[in-house]
Amino acid sequence: MVGFLEADGCVSISKHKKYLNLIISVGQTKCKRPLDLYKKYFGGNIYSYKNINKNSKYKYAHKWSVSGKLALRAYYILKPYFYSQTKIIKNKVKLYEKYISTKGITNKGRPIINTPLKLL
């Protein structure tokens, strides 16, 4: 799952007015079945877009996206398996964690990762 995320995905921070949000997303054109696994294990949504490139052999593009605490949970589950750009991703996650700690956003004393990931 991490290899697919590193190849066709993105970990980013978005800013809207004074609010920050951590976002993890993966795009796919051939089929959305791999994205269904991300949704099953980490939550989030899958969006399908009609491909506007008339020369493309794929009619639709699909994107799985998760944000906020669910994205933070997904990061901590996948963290041991990341291979490339670990420092960049780690810095984005640290920035988001600092932001939520200063805003008083907590998980009521429970760890963010409170359910184990069951891989197939």
Token look-up 């184990």 returns 116
Q: What is the pLDDT of residue 9?
A: 86
The domains located in the chain, with CATH, are: 2-102 (3.10.28.10)
Token look-up 């899958």 returns 46
CA dihedral 119, 82, 2, 38 (to 10 degrees): 70
Highest average pLDDT, of 4-13, 34-43, 53-62, comes from 34-43
- The answer to whether residue 115 scores a pLDDT higher than 70 is no
Helical segments of 2-85, H only: 2-8, 33-42, 69-78
Q: How far apart are CA 63 and CA 107, in angstroms?
A: 27
Average model confidence (pLDDT) across the chain: 80
- The answer to whether residue 85 scores a pLDDT higher than 80 is no
% helix / strand / coil in the chain, to the nearest 5? 40, 25, 35
Q: What is the pLDDT of residue 111?
A: 45
The pLDDT of 67-78, averaged and rounded, is 90
Q: How far apart are CA 46 and CA 112, in angstroms?
A: 22
Q: How far apart are CA 60 and CA 62, in angstroms?
A: 7
Neighbouring-strand partners of residue 48: 62
The pLDDT of 73-85, averaged and rounded, is 83
